[in-house]
Every structure is written in C-alpha cells, then in structure tokens.
Amino acid sequence: MKPTGRTALNALKDAGLDVIGVGKINDIFCGEGITQTYHSDSSVHGMQQTIEICKEDFHGLCFVNLVDFDALWGHRRNPEGYGREIEKFDSGLGTLMNELREDDLLILTADHGNDPTYTGTDHTREYVPFIAYSKKMKETGAIENQDTFAVIGASSQSDMTF
C-alpha cells in the first residue's frame, strides 16, 4: 500500500540525496522515495549489505529492516532464537561502526514492540529502543520515553543537509 502522502523519504530524494532501502523497506513504502534497493535473504545478509553500502561514498539515508527479528523470532515467540539473532547482529555491529565516517549517524530502533516471551503473535506494547551514534557526538545519555516515533524522524532529518 502506497503511503497516503509525502514522506521524509520523498523529501530526501527530492533534495537530491540517496535513499537506500535494505530488506523490505522498498516493499513497505511501495518504492516511494527510494533511489536504490537491496533485497536481503536474512538479517545477517541485510547487515552484510549495510556494511558494504557504508563502504561506498553516498550522501543521504540508508534505511535498513532486519526482518528476522520480527518475522522469525518476535512474532513466533522464540526468545532463544531472538537471543541468537541479537548475538549475530552484535558481531556485525562492530564492523559496521568501524565503517562509519565522521559525519555519519547510526540509529538503531524498531517499528513496534515484539516481546518474544509473551503469548500470542501480535505486537506487544513495550518501548522500542532508540540508540543513536555518530563519531562526532560529544555527549552521551538517555532521553526520556517518548509518546511518538516522530522523535526518530526528526532526529534523522535534523542531521541531513538539504
């Protein structure tokens, strides 16, 4: 289903920036605002693709969906599998961070909660992570819990140069 209006992805693309989708990002947005897309076969594959993309000289956004966390482990309520997936992700995260340039911003988050220990297969209500990292960051700390995902979009766009 196409987005009901313009998205931040459209704004970035219209400003001449790259909007690279990894995983099912192109499907989620029906290609709207995407300049390049990479289908991934697994979360590990998506992480490998993301590392390779970070080695390239691109200007804009690389938007990644590591679907196995959600589809294979969260909705299936498999905490052991979820834990193993986090370990695989963590081993690739160090490599990814080493590829970041001085002006890159890395944001790790989720689009919804999905507690693998809860019953049923629907989304759950716990808070999602919001972890931001850049080599140019001067301070660290926690932000207060937010009532909206808008803080993620605002943080991403405020770092972009239009």
Is pLDDT of 69 > 60?
yes
Q: Is residue 151 helix, strand or coil?
A: helix
More confident residue, 87 or 107: 87
pLDDT at residue 140 in the model: 86
More confident residue, 72 or 102: 102
Residue 21 backbone class (left: φ over 0; alpha: ψ -120 to 50; beta: rest): beta
More confident residue, 19 or 69: 19
Q: For a pLDDT cut of 70, what percent of the chain falls above it?
A: 96
Is pLDDT of 162 > 50?
no
pLDDT at residue 146 in the model: 82
For residue 145 the two structure tokens come to 């819990």
The residue to which tokens 């963590």 are assigned: 90
Q: What is the mean pLDDT of residues 41-47?
A: 95
Is residue 143 very low, low, confident or very high in pLDDT (cuts 50, 70, 90)? confident
Distance CA(143)–CA(118), nearest Å, equals: 26
Q: Quick check: 33 and 60 in contact, CB under 8 A?
A: no
Give the range with max mean pLDDT: 39-53, 117-131, 140-154. Answer: 39-53
Q: What is the mean pLDDT of residues 48-71?
A: 92
Is residue 160 very low, low, confident or very high in pLDDT (cuts 50, 70, 90)? low
Q: For a pLDDT cut of 90, what percent of the chain falls above it?
A: 52
Distance CA(39)–CA(41), nearest Å, equals: 7
The superfamily (CATH) of domain 8-156 is: Alkaline Phosphatase, subunit A (3.40.720.10)
Tell me, rounded to whole angstroms, the distance of Cα 140 from its chain centroid.
Answer: 20
Is residue 161 very low, low, confident or very high in pLDDT (cuts 50, 70, 90)? low
